[in-house]
Structure 1
Amino acid sequence: MTQSTKQNPSRRHHFIPQFLLREWGDGAGDLVCYWPRGDGKVRSKPLSPKSVAYKDWIYETTGFSAEHAQQMEDIYFKLIDDRASNAHRLLVDGRTGEMSHEMMCDWARFIMSIWFRTPGDVKGLKTVINALSDPAVSEAAIGLTVPDDFPEAALNQLQMEAIRRAIDDPERGQVFLSMEWATITSTETRSFLISDWPLDTAKDLPFLGHPKSYITIPISPRQLFIAAPSRAFLLALGDLQEGELERRQNYATVAQARSFVGASNDEEDAFIKQNFGCEKRPSIARSIAEAWNVEI
């Protein structure tokens, strides 16, 4: 019997999965990727989905053995993305009504993961947990005193556990599942864009649970997934002026980007370069830090 070769752990940890990025690929599979340079200018280049939206070792659990240190990427996020890709296929095909409850949960979990898996939010959550290693901070924030000799490996494990619990929060997930879901196909010549922060949400409102809260995310250059608070909200989208929905979504996708913007062609070149990263984006990590009076 031939023994299978053990795979090396993943070095590239993708915060936007390849199954989604592939929708923006051209005939060769590449998408046009835009990213900021050190001088503030935005550069563009065709890249494969494998070469976009990743950061080396971002989810590594330091202090663990080599075979377990990448469990967040190789097991946890891989499972989320693999299951979400099946739900994504139905959404792209316009078969939202055929999704089982399990598939809806898979898609909800994936959407929740985007809020916490970007490099900025991972760094923010790690900083919050690190701050709690200071006994004075932990006492003021959570009413417990963390020992001075708290092991670094245990601290890093807590960081990863905080991300998992934030993504798998049952109350937040149930609110998302109870919203009205739909996929809108654009008939405009202007296509949707993708980025490290592709979500659009209601401004100055809780992103879930408010009567006017909504979440949208492009699932292909021509299709937009919407989780709305009501059927009436979805119908109101039909009253928007021609092209307004595409303009709103693309502005949110580009203005809240930090690492990259992806496009299926270079028709939005000037728009992307003008608006890249120009808006402050939501950050739950920042909200937690502010509640605990921790700087991130």
Structure 2
Amino acid sequence: MSEPRKHHYIPQFYLKNWCGEDGRLICYKRIRSEVMCEPVAPISTGFQKDLYTLAHLPKNLRQAIEKDVTADVDHRASVALQKMIATKSTDTLTKEDRLGWAQFIVSLPIRNPDAVADIKETSTKAGLEKAYEQAKQEFPDWAQGETFGAEFEESVREDPFTRFLSDNYGLMVISELMLNPDYHDIILKMFWWVMDFSSAGISLITCDRPYMIFRSIGHPRGLIYLPIGPRLGFFASPDPMKRRQLLNQNIALVTKEMNRWEAKLAAQYVYAADRHHTPLIMKYLRAA
């Protein structure tokens, strides 16, 4: 059995909700000044090869994060998502469903290629700098030379275990963040609801960075939004009045505002169930 090397940072189970009868959804992307629009299957988009692959391990262990962490998060989130879509509500979610969905929400901002690269670079640099400063304190005479920094880094890289930790530490941090109960608890303590946008006359879009938060995660009036289909949106907030405030707004205007934010958040791709969003996406989608 081949190891999974196409790592979907936008899971297929999520994108399938925008698919038509042919199993494809509409994918928008900008190439220079032109916006391209084409139907794609969820398996063919929102992934990067070897995104979570661990280095310096046997082949059968390199995909441990993809197989044991993100796959588990996505499986449990897919169960919760299907319940929300079927009932247009969060009321039928079990405690386990809510935890799975909270983990998925937490994972979205940190599992994409930009975030993975940033976390890997930052964590590796911080680890090396800490070790470097410690070495200077323990070996002050040796550390006086001009070439100490380069020699130290080379010696670190020559040690197999240190090299393994250095090259994989960022991915370990990402796994830890995905499964950190402190982050889940923040979301689990919020009020959750699903909003039906069917009467808006406009379908909801999503993108390759779909997680959206108004204000901050810890703000008492903060608001999390994630489209979960062309007609349904998931919301969470510490403020129980947010739901009523949204329901009292013009549904078409709320839809347009949510779509505007999704188009602006996209890094490369915007996804939709139809081709009616070209003017909006041309205005807000940045160039790849």
TM interval, short-chain normalised = 0.7 to 0.9
TM-score, normalised to structure 1, is 0.84
Q: 1:138 to 1:259 in 2, by over 3 A?
A: farther
Query: Does structure 2 conserve the Cα–Cα contact (< 8 Å) formed by 1:255 and 1:276?
Result: yes
Q: Sequence identity, in percent?
A: 24
The structure where helix makes up a greater share of residues is 2
Q: 1:56 aligns with which of 25, 49, 52?
A: 49
Whichever residue aligns with residue 152 of structure 1, its letter is: R
Q: 1:230 to 1:29 in 2, by over 3 A?
A: same
- Alignment correspondent of 1:12: 6
- Alignment correspondent of 2:129: 135
Give secondary structure in 2 for the equivalent of 1:132: helix
Deviation at 1:156, TM superposition (A): 2.5
CA distance in 2, matches of 1:83, 1:9: 21
Q: 1:270 to 1:179 in 2, by over 3 A?
A: same
TM-score, normalised to structure 2, is 0.86
Give secondary structure in 1 for the equivalent of 2:97: helix
Deviation at 1:130, TM superposition (A): 2.3
Query: Does structure 2 conserve the Cα–Cα contact (< 8 Å) formed by 1:14 and 1:53?
Result: yes
Query: Does structure 2 conserve the Cα–Cα contact (< 8 Å) formed by 1:199 and 1:252?
Result: no
Deviation at 1:157, TM superposition (A): 2.5
RMSD over aligned Cα atoms:
2.3
CA distance in 1, matches of 2:56, 2:121: 17
Q: 1:200 aligns with which of 187, 207, 212?
A: 212
Give deviations 1:50-106, integer Å, cap 9, x for gaps.
Answer: 001001111111111111111111221111111110000111122411211111000
Q: 1:233 aligns with which of 242, 247, 256?
A: 242
Deviation at 1:240, TM superposition (A): 1.4
Give deviations 1:187-240, integer Å, cap 9, x for gaps.
Answer: 1110111111112211xx32x121111101011100000002222111111221
CA distance in 1, matches of 2:127, 2:35: 38
CA distance in 1, matches of 2:261, 2:68: 31
Give secondary structure in 1 for the equivalent of 2:266: coil
Deviation at 1:136, TM superposition (A): 6.1
1:176 aligns with 2:170: no
- Deviating beyond 6 angstroms after TM superposition, the runs of 4 or more aligned structure 1 residues are none
Q: 1:191 aligns with which of 193, 199, 203?
A: 203
1:21 aligns with 2:33: no
Question: Structure 1: where are the runs of 5+ without partners?
Answer: 1-6, 141-145, 279-296
Question: Structure 2: where are the runs of 5+ without partners?
Answer: 135-148
